[in-house]
Amino acid sequence: MSLDQEIQGLPVANGASADLAEKVAALNARFKHHSATSVMEGALRDAGNIALVSSFGAESVVLLHMAAIIDPATPVLFVDTELLFTETLVYQQEVSERLGLRNVQVIKAADIAEKDPYGALRFSDTDACCNLRKTVPLQKALSGFEGWITGRKRFQAGTRAALDFFEVEDGTGRIKINPLAHWAPEDVRAYMDENRLPRHPLVAKGYPSIGCAPCTSPVAEGEDPRAGRWRNQNKVECGIHVVDGKFVRTGA
């Protein structure tokens, strides 16, 4: 039975479709003991109109490789905040070509020149800067999709410790899919080694987690891998996840 058939087969109340939470619970129950590849394949082939959102960061190539094998025409949404490292922009093009990804969509905010003409917003309000450059344009890009795939993993932050394969995205009617939720750092490295996947060039320079250049710094040995993101700030997420129908800085 496909994911779509399983969802459609859930109990229906008062003539309406089953609650999204029930659908997600059924998906998590079905895939509880399945691999990340199985979750990806099921999502892309059976779960509707799904996009893969990728930062083309330190570990992004894993999901990009899985998508390329399953369906190279998978929509891949890449948000260019116009503050990214040059290395990330080059890596994005090289990986897309090497993997044969045919539907990479580069997303940019249309109003940066109006709202942040001098690029100084990050100094006064990093949340507002993330919202302008990443959160809002991604929200608009996702509006035409039924769900999206993320590269989030439980080990990355305390706010992700209970992450499931499938989640309800509050207020949007979309399903959020986290195929690598249960992976450990060594699983990521093993997959990349076994498939000879190219590393982001900044990883070798001490950047295990890569975002915008002004807000990302190298991480010293023994530090948390995400310690270089918004260093010395009370912030751990860029704000692309939804709580109570609003895009917020979850965990910040």
By annotation, the residues acting in catalysis are: 238
Residue 160, helix vs strand vs coil: helix
Residue 91, Cβ density class (10 Å: 0-12 exposed, 13-18 middle, ≥19 buried): buried
Rounded CA separation 252/250 (Å) = 6
Q: Residue 249's closest CA among 217, 220, 215, 219?
A: 215
Rounded CA separation 134/202 (Å) = 21
Please state, in angstroms and as integers, the Cα–Cα distance from residue 153 to each residue in 24, 150, 237, following that order: 18, 9, 13
Beta pairing partners, 106: 78
Q: Are 210 and 88 in contact (CB under 8 A)?
A: yes
Residue 110 has what DSSP assignment? S
